[in-house]
Amino acid sequence: MEGFQFRDSYYLYLLIAILPLVWLCYFLIERRKQVLINLMGETMTAKANRLNKIYRFRAALVLLAIVLGIAALARPQWGKTQKIVETKGVDIIVAVDVSLSMLAIDEAPSRLARARRLCTDLMDSLVENRIGIIAFAGNNVGLIPLTLDKVALETFIDSLDVQLATNNSSTLIEQAILQATQSLKSAGKDARVLVLISDGEEQTDDPEAAVRKASMEAAENGIIILTVGVGSQKGSKIPLDLIGKTGFKLDQDGKEVLTQLQENLLQVAAETTAGIYLHVQPDASEVKEIAAFIDKLNKGEVRSLALEEREERFQYFLALAALLILGDLFLAPYLLKRTLK
């Protein structure tokens, strides 16, 4: 059973609630029956004991059927199958800043949490398009390739965290643009898009020139950059509790760092590639604007993609549970008849 798993494993908690209750009921009934059997005569006692064995057997069948039914609810899966999906859309890379400044709380509950929510909303709004995700900070870039696999995308989005990067003290937007350009160059779509989500803060020398150069390379390869600013002009401190430390990030002089949204670099990247710059909104209206912009672009040719999916096996558990119940219904009268002769 390669790759066995329960898709909805939370249903298994029902076993923790039900089994102790079933055992308690069985114990109380057995104790009461034993008292009654002891009050009978010898002939009746022997017959009652035989009946009791049948009831125990039936109880075991029903209990096993309940366990199998709950297991079926949890959707057991193993093995893999290939699903052919046809799509006509745009190839999109979503690049998410995971530097320390994204822990700031001027976007509740944090800039990074807000960016994760934006990724999820985009994925739901762009279902006909292949999507890849980049997590970037410093010189570190992590990537999930272009895919239609929603489960894989959700898993990666949930794991987006500043811990992904070993050098996460600063942001290098140009590195994310260059990585996305490499990934999208060979995609073969009529339109290719990079959605870059960041607070725009960089500590490097002349970051504008570096971002403009990387954006020009993206534009030469037919890539449009849509940028989304996360954070506020007012700024915020950077709490470190989410990375196992206390207090706030300090500068070299021991003073608390105040991180602010820097829109300039994000605007440069968007303008250089004929894209747009947006700021996250409380009503998430930026998602609709991005989806509308992408929807107007020329879609690529229809293409078949093979996605691997785990095989659903709940029907086996359900069938066994049904057989046990049917077996009890048909066997019980026969066994009782023989016992009472």
Whether 30 is in a domain gets the answer yes
Assess whether 12 and 110 both reside in one domain: no
- Residue 198: which of 106, 124, 99, 283 has the closest Cα? 99
- Looking at 146-284, list the stretches that DSSP marks H as alpha helix, in order from N- to C-terminal side: 150-158, 173-185, 207-220, 263-272
CATH number of the domain at 141, please.
Answer: 3.40.50.410
Host H or E run for residue 300 = none
Q: Could you tell me if 100 and 162 are in contact, meaning their C-beta atoms sit under 8 angstroms apart?
A: yes
Whether 306 is in a domain gets the answer no
Assess whether 73 and 111 both reside in one domain: no
- Residue 197: which of 145, 282, 269, 149 has the closest Cα? 269
Tens place of pLDDT per residue across the chain (341 aa): 566 888 888 888 888 888 888 778 777 777 766 666 665 555 555 666 666 677 777 778 888 888 898 899 888 888 766 666 666 788 999 999 998 899 999 998 999 999 999 999 999 999 888 899 999 887 667 788 888 888 889 889 998 888 665 555 567 899 899 999 999 987 765 689 999 999 998 877 789 999 999 999 999 999 999 999 999 999 999 998 877 788 888 888 889 889 999 999 999 999 999 999 999 999 999 999 999 999 988 776 545 455 566 778 889 999 999 998 888 787 767 666 665 55
**104 lies in which domain range?**
89-301
Whether 10 is in a domain gets the answer yes
Assess whether 183 and 243 both reside in one domain: yes
Please state whether the peptide bond connecting residue 282 to the residue before it is cis, i.e. omega within 30 degrees of 0: no
Assess whether 34 and 136 both reside in one domain: no
Question: In residues, how long is the chain?
Answer: 341
Cβ density class 275-309: b for 16+ within 10 Å, e for less = bbbbebeeeeebbeebeebbeebebbeeeeeeeee
Assess whether 56 and 135 both reside in one domain: no
- Residue 176: which of 217, 137, 204, 208 has the closest Cα? 137
Whether 84 is in a domain gets the answer no
φ/ψ bin of 110: left (φ > 0), alpha (ψ from -120 to 50), beta (otherwise) = beta
Assess whether 113 and 260 both reside in one domain: yes
Whether 255 is in a domain gets the answer yes
